[in-house]
Amino acid sequence: MKKMGLFFCAVLFLFFWPGIVLADKPVRIDVLYMNHGPLLPTLKEIKTLFAQYGNKIAVSWYDVDTDEGVKFMAHKGIRGHIPLVVWMDDKVKFQVDGKEIVFAGFPTGSGPLFFQGKWKMDDLKKALNQLTNNKK
């Protein structure tokens, strides 16, 4: 009887082990941001979008006005005044719909014109879908 129990445990272990070892790691996302009025609606949109991915992503937020944010900026080599930068799996450039996109600055059409990037929230969603193999 003990041998049967041991055999059963070994079979379960061998069956589930590959799924545990090969389980998808979450996409690591780092967001450097300014916690200022003009950017707050964009941050809210990004947080709402990120929430749709559950445990498929792991997000770290770095406010440029904190010591942690300043250290993070130095680590990434960021200097100057930039309202927002999003890294996904340590990358800042992504191919979306055949074009290279950097998720930096305000999305196109929001915030001050000179701080607008050349991206839209839908581009961010498409990049996330690619990285998480999401079919949304």
- What is the CATH number for 108? 3.40.30.10
Higher pLDDT, 2 or 49: 49
Q: pTM value? A: 0.78
- Minimum mean pLDDT range among 8-12, 27-31, 85-89: 8-12
- Asked if residue 57 is part of any domain, the answer here is yes
The confidence score (pLDDT) of residue 108 equals: 66
For the residues of 32-62, what is the DSSP string, one character each?
EE--SGGGHHHHHHHHHHHHTTGGGEEEEEE
Distance set, CA 99 to CA 29, 71, 94, 127 (Å): 21, 31, 8, 11
- Asked if residue 13 is part of any domain, the answer here is no
Domain region containing 47: 25-132
Give ∠ CA 60-66-72 in degrees, rounded to 5. 50
Number of domains in the chain: 1
The confidence score (pLDDT) of residue 37 equals: 86
Q: pLDDT for 94-120, tens place per residue?
A: 999 999 999 999 886 675 655 667 899
